[in-house]
Structure formats: C-alpha cells, structure tokens
Structure 1
Amino acid sequence: MIPGVPDLSALWGTKAPAAPGRPSAPADGMDPADDAALNEVRRLLGNSLSMAGGPMEVAGRLRAALAQAQPTLFATLPGGPVAQVEQLAEGLTWLIHHVDQPPALVAGFGRLGMALAECGVAPQQLQLAGAALAEAMRAGMAAHGWRQDFDQAWRSTWQHAYEWIAHGMAAGRYQPMTWAAVVLSHELRREDLAVLRVRPYLPMPYLPGQFARVQVAEQPEVWRPYSLAGTPSQDNTFELHVRAKSWGGVSGALVHRSKPGDKIRVARAEGGMTLPGNQRELLLIAGDTGVAPLKALITELAVTGDPRPATLFWAALTPAELYDIDDIARIAAAAPQVSVVPVLTGGELDVLVETVASYGDWSGHEVFLAGPPQMLAVTGTALLQSGVPPHHLHYDTPE
C-alpha cells in the first residue's frame, strides 16, 4: 500500500446495501471513512488527469499505445481512430465522476464488458491496458510530475475495472443480444405520441432508467433507442413512450401503425442513468417523453420501499403535453417520499430553471435529467452554476 492511497479492495467489495425501509448507512450509504477514501481516490484520478493534459490528450496516447501493443484490438471496434479516442476520453471522464459510486462502477464496466464481447474482444487483449493508461498519464506530465500515489490509484482502479469488464464479457456469452417481445397495449395519447406496454417473451435484464434499441418488422435494418419506463421487479413488462415526428421510421411505425399483438425486437439495455447506491436525495427533471426513464426511477422507489426523497419536475408547453400525469400522480401517491411538480413553460426554458431554483438548494442531491438536448444543456448548466457537482449530474444521450 502507498501511504495516502486507500485500499480499493475493501471499498469496492461486496457490501450488501441496507434493506429498503431500514435505516441506511450515514450520508451516502457507506461508512463516512469509506466515503472520504473514495473521494480521495477521485481527487487523485482527477488531478492527475488534468496534469497529464486532460481526457482527450490522455485518450489519444492511450489508444496509440494499445494499437501498437494489440494491432487487432481497434479493428474490431466501431468507428475510426478519432471516434475511438473520443469514446476513450468520455470513458475516462465517466470513471472519475463515478469512482465514488461502487454500484455504478460495477454495473457500468459489466455492460462495457458485454459490449466489447459483442465486438469480438477477448479479455486477454485488455490485460496491458492498465500499464498503458499509467504510461499515457505519465507521458503528459512535466518531469517528476508523475507521483507514486497517482500510479497506485490508477493501477488499482484499473485492476478492479478489468475484473468487472471480464465478468461482463463472461455474462455476455450466456445472454441473448436481442429479445422477441409483444405489444400488449397501445394508447395514442396525442396525435404524435403513443405509450406502448411491451412484454419480452423471455425475462430481459435491465435497470430502471436504462434504454434499449427497438426494431420493428417494417424496418428490420433500423434500431431506434427508447427509454424503458418500468422496473424488472414488477411483471416483466415495460412501457415505451414514443413521439413520432413523421409517419415514417421506427417511431412512426410504433405511434401510427402498431397495435396489440404486434411483434418487435428489443436489444440489450444500455445507459447509466440508474439509481445510485448512496442515499442522497434525488432531483429529477424531465421534458416531453424524457419523463419515461424518470417514471421508471420513481416506480422503483415505490415498488421497493426505498425511502430516499425524490422531486420530479416535468416541463411541458401546455397541460395537454403532460400526457402521463395521471399515472405518474398515482405512483407518487403510493410513495409519499416522491413529489411531482408539473411546470408549464410556454416554450421558455428559463421558466423551468427558475421554478427548480425556487424550490431550494439542490447541491447535495443526485440529479437526473431527461428530455430534449436544449433542455439538458440549459438546465444542466444552471445546476452546475448553482453548485451541483458534475459527478452528481446524470443523463443519457443515446444516438
């Protein structure tokens, strides 16, 4: 052990979370000493990454080193060199933002392992990645800038990440890539928006807040991502909230031509916008069909008896656009710790920002954003400026 670097094996072990409804551990669901130790790891990783030139520079050096050591590795992965460097940079940033959230780390690297296995990557091809990452960091620093505690923090972090990736690769061999599913019900809530209830024929693993790509029979070559508004702890069904900009495409087929009994295919669940293992209070902000993944989160709170308070703001132009408010109000009624605040913006995002701010200080909350890109940008920026730490801000932008 290096003095000042926590033992990550103890912190990222297999502690069981408190049972729903029972008193949780202090503050973040962990002992205060563990929480402080993981914050120290995040500080070491973040500071060293900045000193080494930032995520993009380090990712560029890392890809070059791995490509030289494993010439076939990147040939099996999607995208060209530029896109792959960008993905590596995003991964480094995500790691630092989530290093103090062990459940998110385990789940995220497990999903990465499944995705890499689908691309044909073998675990042994990643064995050198930890050393290559440490070297990519060291090479970007001034002389004597690379410290022993930096090296220990990165190598230990990668050791655990590699194990979780390998477990994900192994699990991926026994899990289908897609599931056949049937449409149980189809409700046209607006002219351009429908809510479909779907049931896979076989149990499909996912976490509340995730999304999955969907294929319809009339366009078998196209897969379109939609959030899964449901929780696996219910009846193996979930909702798809679909808005169609036209009569064509997957969305057009689901909104305008789908009916009960239709068959669709659903790919593996993706995304990291899931409930964290800590017990921080939750701030949820939705726009339009972005309410779907947040509905899944409050449903999980209600079903499991999770006691943490949650406040959901749902922004809409008019009352008619609050297409699912009755069902969301029903869920909130079953979970007294959940509050729902409809916000009629009239198209002005400042109204949403001001309304959220008027409810108090959110800097200690875990924040989840889902909706149109402009809403994500405006509300995310405002929350960061108000003191919400970047690693407490969660959103997915599936392509």
Structure 2
Amino acid sequence: MPGRLLPGVPRPGATTPYPPGAGPWPGGIPISPRSTTEPVSGIPGIGGPRAAGPQWPGDPVQATNPVGALRMPSFAEPVTARPAAPADGMDPADDAAMRELARLLGNSLSLAGGSEEVAGRLRAALAQAQPALFLRLPGGAAAQTEQLAEALNWLVHHLDQPPVLVAACGRLGAALAECGVAPQQLQLAGAALAEAMRAGMAAGGWRQDFDQAWRSTWQHAYEWIAHGMAAAAYQPTVWTAVVVGHERRRDDLAVLWLRPYLPMPYRPGQYARVEVPGQPGVWRPYSLTGVPRRDNMVELHVRAKSHSGVSGALVYQTAVGDKVRIARAEGEMGLPASGRDLLMIAGDTGVVPLKALLTELASTGDPRSAVLFWGVRNLSELYDVDDIMDIARACRRATVIPVISEGEAGPYASGLVTDAVAAYGEWSGHEVYLAGPPLMLAVTSAALQDLGVAPERIHHDKPD
C-alpha cells in the first residue's frame, strides 16, 4: 500500500482504462483514410467464427475446417482454467496490506495521545503554516478541532474500505471547495499530521513505518479530496446532518438543531433547502439561524400547516439522532458593508433570518443601531421572544419591538406592524431588511416607500 494507489482504485483525474483485451483492430491493421470500396482480389476465404481469445472449457469443438479456410485451433486440446478473480476485484494480498496499514495508523494514534490531542496539535500547526485556511471554515477552534478528531478516527476505521474512503474524501473535497479552500492550502497537511503524531509520543516512540503509513495515506486522501474539489464546480454539494436537538415551541412549530458531518459554510441571514429521508427528491427551504463562526450547528425554525410534507416530517416525525440532507446556502440577506443603521421587519417565523443578523451584530460588536419589529397575530406566536431579547441585549445598540395584531397585546405594541413602524420614527437613511410571508413582504415594501425609503435600500429574499 505505501507509496502506491490503493488496489482497485484508479488515481483521481486519470482516464478510465480500456477493458481487458481492448486495443487496435484485430491483426493491428490500420485503416487508411484513402481506402475505397472497390473489391480487392486474392483474399483467402474465412470459414466459420474466429477465436477471440484463449479457449475456455465447454466451448464447442470444430473437428474439421472447410476447404480454403484458415486453420482453427482445436478446442479439444486440454485447457488450464483461469483462477477466479475476487468478487470485488481486489487481490487478497492488497487486502491484507490495507489491514496492516490500518493497524499501524490506529496504534500510532493511540501512542500519540489519541485523536483529540493529535487533532489539536494538527490544527495549531496548520493554522500557523496557513493562517487563512481556518478562517474560511465554519466553527471556532474548538469545533474545528472536534471535527478533525472525528475525521482521524473515521479514517482509521474505514481505511480497509477503498470505495467508501474514496467517496468520503470526494465529499470532503466538495465541502472544502464550498468554503473557499484551495487544494494548495492542504499540501502541508501530510507533514503536519506526521509531526502532530510524533510530538505526542515518548522519546524514540516514533518509527519509520508510522511516518511512512501516515504520509502515504494522506497522499492518497489528498488526491481524492482534490478530485472532489474539482467536481464541486460541476455538481451540487449536499451535506448530511444529524439532528442533535428537537424542541416543540408551539403545536405547529419546532426548533431543530442540526450538526453537519462536514464543514458547511453559510452567512447569517441565508437559507438552505432540506430533504428528509421519507421524501427523497423533495427539498423545502428554511432560514438558517446562528453564527457559523462559533460552532458547526445549524438551527432551523419549522412551522407545519399539516402533518404531511417536509415541514410536517420535521415538526411531528423527526427525533434526535435522525439524519437529514442540506443543500448549499442561498440568499443575499447579509449585513451591508455600509455603516447605515438597520431597520428589520419580520412576520411570524420570518424572524429567523433577522435573528441571525442580530446574532452577527452581537458577536462582532458592530456599533450600528438595529431596530427589529416582529409582527404576529397573538401573544402565543412570540415563541422565541426571550432568546431574541437576550441577543438584542448583547448587541451594542439593538431594540426588539413585538407587535400584536389580534387580541390581547400585553406589554407589547398592538395593531399592524406597518403602522407601528411609521409611528416609531423616520427610516429614510436606514438599510431595511424584511422577512415573512409573500403578502407581508409586498405590503410592507410599499408602505416603506411611502415613508420615503428608497427601493434599493429595501432587502428581502424572493418568495419561494
């Protein structure tokens, strides 16, 4: 295994080999571009089929040849049977070599202090050599180290399964490409990994076979990862995520926390399409809450109008430990580069992307002022108001104003959210962000323009 490709696995980027026996035309006779269709004399006749390769037991025996025919080989002669190839196309010796390689990796990982300690040293070394690398990846240092440790454990336990290993490295490459990582930023990872292993061992514990095993394994993985990076430009990237939290906030609404297995980049305010196992091919968009720079979690707020569909499955049928698939993040609902103050107006669960923007303001210490109006029908629909109030208090200058359109308003404003916005202040100098049902977006946008807000300063994603 060391120093060469895994058996049965073509080098990424190489052309597919011809089937066994493929080659030029029989006899190696080239075809001339000046060939004509005129008959040619003097060609001996061919009587009967011509053997295409060594004979096999059970083929018919031709006792005699027609007059003038080419002599056929006698199929009655003894034939040595070919040994049967393994079902998976792999040589048993190669299979044993991979098991030995996995043993070397596992033993050295344990001797170096375990996957978590090695991952911590590896991340520190890579961050020093390539400072921009981890800035492109979601999650903080702790979350990134955790994913590296999981990757090392996974590699050791799947090294003897080349098809699984190649496919997983390709998916990792696609995810890294989505994060903006370039292949050359990973070239030092093999040497850094070997050094992270050596540094955790006792004096004299690092052996040449350990070093060769890790460097060789990384070289193969790197090629497959680079292949996945290139493939990401031609096919959509999809992340598998496990449900780590599920909480019903209302009878028709649940908050879910998902953890993608691979780094998933997104900006606060964006949304992504989700697929559940029971409904393959059906993708439903949901806003993403949270700050990707903090951890590897994705938060979804899902409201279901019925028990059917993707939303119904997520609210009523999904539990912790289940898996879903997430497509790449979409949408332009991000904080503007300008220093203008912000006006945010949400309707019902439209508060989710605006909550994400508030969280971004709090985590970065942004000095801009932000006012969030959250319009709902009744008090029971303010399912997330405490969390949003806490986030606003963590901001430098943020205010949250719930507006109740029906029934008792309690301590909050009552009436239409557009009336509350008009009564609160003057907004012509603000950047405005809207999120909610399509009708709410249209009505609120028109009302804001009547208040003097320029259309180019009103931002919202297109209704899906």
After TM superposition, the score normalised by the length of structure 1 is 0.56
Unpaired segments ≥5 residues, structure 2 = 1-173, 179-228, 408-412
Count of aligned pairs between the two proteins: 234
Deviation per residue, 1:252-293 (Å, 9 max, x gap): 000001111110000000001111111110000011110100
- Tell me whether 1:384 sits opposite 2:449 in the alignment: yes
C-alpha deviation, 1:234, in angstroms: 1.3
- Tell me whether 1:275 sits opposite 2:335 in the alignment: yes
Match of 2:405 in 1: 345
Are residues 364 and 256 of structure 1, via their aligned partners in 2, closer, same or farther at CA, if it must alter by over 3 Å?
same
Amino acid at match of 2:455: P
| Identity within the alignment, % | 62
Amino acid at match of 2:295: D
Which has a greater percent of helix? 1
* Equivalent residue in structure 1 for 2:296, among 221, 233, 236: 236
Moved more, 350-359 or 186-195: 350-359
Unpaired segments ≥5 residues, structure 1 = 1-113, 119-168
C-alpha deviation, 1:397, in angstroms: 2.7
2:369 & 2:231 partners in 1: Cα distance?
A: 34
C-alpha deviation, 1:238, in angstroms: 2.1
1:340 & 1:319 partners in 2: Cα distance?
A: 15
Are residues 286 and 171 of structure 1, via their aligned partners in 2, closer, same or farther at CA, if it must alter by over 3 Å?
farther
Contact 1:332 1:340 in 2 (8 A): yes
Contact 1:225 1:398 in 2 (8 A): no
Match of 1:107 in 2: none
Contact 2:375 2:416 in 1 (8 A): no
1:379 & 1:349 partners in 2: Cα distance?
A: 16
Contact 1:349 1:378 in 2 (8 A): no
Match of 1:73 in 2: none
Taking the TM superposition and a 5 Å limit, the aligned residue runs for 1:285-296 are: 285-296=345-356
Match of 1:249 in 2: 309
Match of 2:36 in 1: none
Moved more, 371-380 or 296-305: 371-380
SS in 1 for 2:416: helix
Deviation per residue, 1:328-382 (Å, 9 max, x gap): 1111111131110010011999621111111111111010000111111111100
1:170 & 1:388 partners in 2: Cα distance?
A: 44
Are residues 296 and 385 of structure 1, via their aligned partners in 2, closer, same or farther at CA, if it must alter by over 3 Å?
same
Larger RCO, structures 1/2 (Cα 8 Å, 6+ apart):
1
Match of 1:300 in 2: 360
1:366 & 1:178 partners in 2: Cα distance?
A: 33
Amino acid at match of 1:197: W
Contact 1:349 1:375 in 2 (8 A): no
1:349 & 1:224 partners in 2: Cα distance?
A: 32
* Equivalent residue in structure 2 for 1:323, among 383, 389, 412: 383
Taking the TM superposition and a 5 Å limit, the aligned residue runs for 1:23-38 are: none
Amino acid at match of 1:279: G
* Equivalent residue in structure 1 for 2:322, among 256, 262, 268: 262
Contact 2:403 2:414 in 1 (8 A): no
Are residues 170 and 304 of structure 1, via their aligned partners in 2, closer, same or farther at CA, if it must alter by over 3 Å?
farther
| Large movers: runs of 4+ above 6 Å | 347-350
Deviation per residue, 1:153-207 (Å, 9 max, x gap): xxxxxxxxxxxxxxxx989539961111111111111111001111111111111
Match of 1:354 in 2: 419
Match of 2:432 in 1: 367
* Equivalent residue in structure 1 for 2:374, among 314, 328, 332: 314
Larger Rg: 2
Are residues 330 and 249 of structure 1, via their aligned partners in 2, closer, same or farther at CA, if it must alter by over 3 Å?
same
After TM superposition, the score normalised by the length of structure 2 is 0.48
State the Cα RMSD in Å: 2.5
2:244 & 2:383 partners in 1: Cα distance?
A: 19
SS in 2 for 1:183: strand
Taking the TM superposition and a 5 Å limit, the aligned residue runs for 1:2-41 are: none
2:360 & 2:254 partners in 1: Cα distance?
A: 22
